[in-house]
A and B are shown apart, each in its own frame.
Chain A
Amino acid sequence: LAKTTQPISMDSYEGQEVNITCSHNNIATNDYITWYQQFPSQGPRFIIQGYKTKVTNEVASLFIPADRKSSTLSLPRVSLSDTAVYYCLVGGAGGFKTIFGAGTRLFVKA
């Protein structure tokens, strides 16, 4: 079961790029890395998923170095509506047990 470590909180301003890094030193060979976003009073929602190098979609980019022991979620030009908690998950987490960490609280200021 790959344990993940993320910063507890981050602050940013509108229009800036935000990078949130997740450490997962004991990631398994077959594990994927997935990021979720959770707004207050809502369930988490899938943002992006990757295995290695770089993945980009309409919402974010995910950078994964060659050793895969960490990953960075990049949110370009954040807005106030990006204020949320961001969770990094690795693999299917011990088979089918899917354990979320505490996540990173991103607060975007005007």
Chain B
Amino acid sequence: NAGVTQTPKFRVLKTGQSMTLLCAQDMNHEYMYWYRQDPGMGLRLIHYSVGEGTTAKGEVPDGYNVSRLKKQNFLLGLESAAPSQTSVYFCASSYRVGSRNTIYFGEGSWLTVV
């Protein structure tokens, strides 16, 4: 019963390096999301997707890119990492029945940019 799986769980990057966070869900959900959470703060939406091949910007999209080539996967890329991107990243997926939306989260990916 995997649900939403994120890899890697921990990563340290140097400023200017690039990396990709992978999110996979096995619940056949249409909708997927990437959030970031800074210490002591709430979740902020980076990008989201309403279906395979689609992506859209959230609250804080700058410095990130995403792709949803397969329904079950949602990738978050950092092209040139900055210390301000040090955060915990959560991937989520959801299904909707009418206007009822239920979101399932992964366990998080801890990213440190030095």
Contacts and interface: CB of A to CB of B under 8 A. Distances in A.
Interface of A: 30-32, 34, 36, 41-46, 49, 51, 85, 87, 91-93, 96-103
B64 interface: no
A98 B44 CA distance: 9
Interface stretch (B12-20, B73-81, B88-96): B88-96
Nearest to A43: B105
7 contacts: A34-B102, A36-B103, A45-B104, A85-B42, A96-B31, A97-B58, A100-B43
Given A42-B107, A43-B92, A43-B107, A100 B42 contact: yes
A96 B48 contact: yes
A51, A87, A100, most chain B CB atoms within 10 A = A100
Interface in B26-58: 31, 33, 35, 41-45, 48, 50, 56, 58
Interface class of chain B by DSSP: strand
B52 to A, nearest CB: 14
Nearest to B104: A46
B108 A49 contact: no
Contacts of B35: 100
Contact of A98 (B4, B33, B98): B33
Contacts of B92: 43
B106 to A, nearest CB: 6
A6 B33 CA distance: 23
B43 A96 contact: no
A32 B43 contact: no
Contacts of B103: 34, 36, 44, 46, 98
Contacts of B106: 43
B26 to A, nearest CB: 16
B56 to A, nearest CB: 7
Given A92-B101, A99-B58, A100-B45, 14 more contacts: A30-B99, A32-B99, A32-B100, A41-B88, A43-B4, A43-B106, A44-B103, A49-B100, A51-B100, A91-B99, A93-B101, A98-B94, A102-B41, A102-B42
